[in-house]
Structure 1
Amino acid sequence: MKEIKIETVLQVYDTINELPKDIINLMERAVEARNKAYAPYSKFNVGAALLLNNGEIVSGNNQENASYPSGLCAERTAIYYAGANYPEAAVLKMAISATSINKPTLEPIPPCGACRQAIAEYEIKQNQPIEIYFMGETGKVAMSKSLENLLPFVFDKSAL
């Protein structure tokens, strides 16, 4: 038997104001997207903004549907938009902000499992990590230098 230890390293900022200016701008874009989310069922609004290596910033938000599996999360909305419209561009950084109508979201809220898998696909495709910053409505902001910190043992094309 062999034991494997997995360690995740995140940087945590106490407030958005501690972030570098370019990341504050990216997070503000994520908040703008979050405020336009369509989430009548969960009442959980999420926005994401991506900085591409061509200087473009694209954003997305969650879009729900009465047929729940037909909705799409903010992170996948943004990353698929980037892939469709800027297929040669690499995603450098991603900012995510989430809030709930039902209760305060004061701790960093990371991407869900499906979004982690989608982000992993783009890291692998571009052979370059994506810095991911995530927060709730207010409060602390967590940063991962790569999706690999959030999804060890990633499933990729090598398994197919």
Structure 2
Amino acid sequence: MNKITITTNFDVFESIQELPIDIQNLMQEAIAIRKTAYAPYSNFKVGVALLLDNEKIILGSNQENAAYPSGLCAERVAIFHAGAVFPEAKILKMAISAASSTTTTSAPIPPCGSCRQTIAEYEIKQNTPIEIYFMGEIGSIYKSDSLKNLLPLLFDKKFL
């Protein structure tokens, strides 16, 4: 038997003010759009702001449905919108903010598994990494240089 070790690295910013100015602005966009989320079942609102290489910012918030599989996470709302409206643009940076209506989220909230797979698809398609910044409602922000830090054993088209 052999063993492999996989390590990941994240930059940690203790507050939004520590972020580079462009990322502060992107995170503020994510926070603002988070407040428009439709989350009457989970009471967990997520907002995402994407910076594209054409300098456009695409926003998304989670949209729930009583038939749970019919809803969409904020990350996929934003990514699919970017793919539909700007199919040739690359996603450079992603800012994610999440908050609960019942408790204070002070730990960074990463994308769920389905969203990680969607981000992976776009990162592979564009052949460039996507910087991902994520936070809760308050507290520190984690930065990943690529989705590969969050999903090191990617499933992609080479397996099909």
Q: TM-score range by the shorter chain?
A: over 0.9
What are the Cα deviations for residues 78-104 of structure 1, in whole angstroms up to 9, with x where unaligned?
Answer: 000000000000000000000001110
Q: What is the CA deviation profile of residues 49-105 of structure 1, one whole-angstrom value per residue up to 9, with x for unaligned ones?
A: 000000000010000000001000000000000000000000000000000011100
Residue in 2 that maps onto 1:135: 135
Q: How many residues align?
A: 160
Unmatched segments (≥5 aa) in structure 1: none
Matches of 1:32 and 1:78, distance apart in 2: 14
1: CA distance, partners of 2:152 / 2:20: 27
The Cα of 1:144 is off from its aligned counterpart by 0.1
* Distance of 1:29 and 1:79 partners within structure 2: 15
What displacement does 1:48 show? Answer: 0.3
- Relative to the length of structure 2, the TM-score reads 0.99
SS of the residue aligned with 1:65?
A: coil
Unaligned 5+ segments in structure 2 are: none
TM-superposed CA distance for 1:150, in Å, is 0.1
Shift of 1:138: 1.0
Cα distance in 2, alignment partners of residues 151 and 111 from structure 1: 10
**TM-score using structure 1 length:** 0.99
Write out per-residue CA displacement over residues 20-43 of structure 1, whole angstroms, 9 at most, x where no aligned residue. Answer: 000000001101110100000000
Runs of 4+ deviating beyond 3 Å: none
RMSD over aligned Cα atoms: 0.4
